[in-house]
Structure 1
């Protein structure tokens, strides 16, 4: 792998999350796809097999959905704790 792109800059390492190349790392110029920019692009990882290409997008969607559910449940738990504490304070003040 080259340490310098065609325009003399250090290439940026990124990860592709497309359905065709999920999780596959690549190196490109920071100005890649800009008008008049450098067209340097190089894959770091080898291509993944067809079966992995089918499975990984579904797994990523599932993980994202579960992380969203977890975030909502954590928010609800904090809210319920705050309501419990407020109810204890109100009961203590008006006893």
Structure 2
């Protein structure tokens, strides 16, 4: 079984090399389901692949139900705010293009009237 150690501040860069049963590096991943929101774990290096192994080790201690609910709620709200922000950025880009286009039309019109 692979071993790992951490510094007191749990800085990921201070983790020793952790390998899964496949012999691949075992990435530290964050779970975002409603049972374990924001909880970190080491999983198989092939976790998205078909031939992944069963390596799974929690990095964090389990939190109480209230903490899970608060974290999950905040994460959901953060995602909603990101969607709103991205829509604003898209609208801003559209308006910038429109301004650029109107400036070109204005310049063309001014040149024709001279």
Q: In which range does the TM-score fall when normalised by the shorter chain? A: 0.7 to 0.9
2:20 touches 2:45 (CA, 8 Å); kept in 1?
no
Aligned residue in 2 for 1:94:
109
Length-normalised TM-score, structure 2? 0.67
Length-normalised TM-score, structure 1? 0.78
1:2-25 per-position Cα deviation (integer Å, ceiling 9, x unaligned): 244445444332111111111111
Root-mean-square deviation (CA, aligned residues, Å) is 2.5
Runs (5+) with no aligned partner, structure 2 = 4-17
1:25-55 per-position Cα deviation (integer Å, ceiling 9, x unaligned): 11123356x8885333211111112211111
Higher relative contact order (CA 8 A, sep 6+): 1
Which has the higher mean CA deviation after the structures are superposed, 7-16 or 60-69? 7-16
Deviating beyond 6 angstroms after TM superposition, the runs of 4 or more aligned structure 1 residues are none
* SS at structure 1 position matched to 2:41: strand
Aligned residue in 1 for 2:75:
60
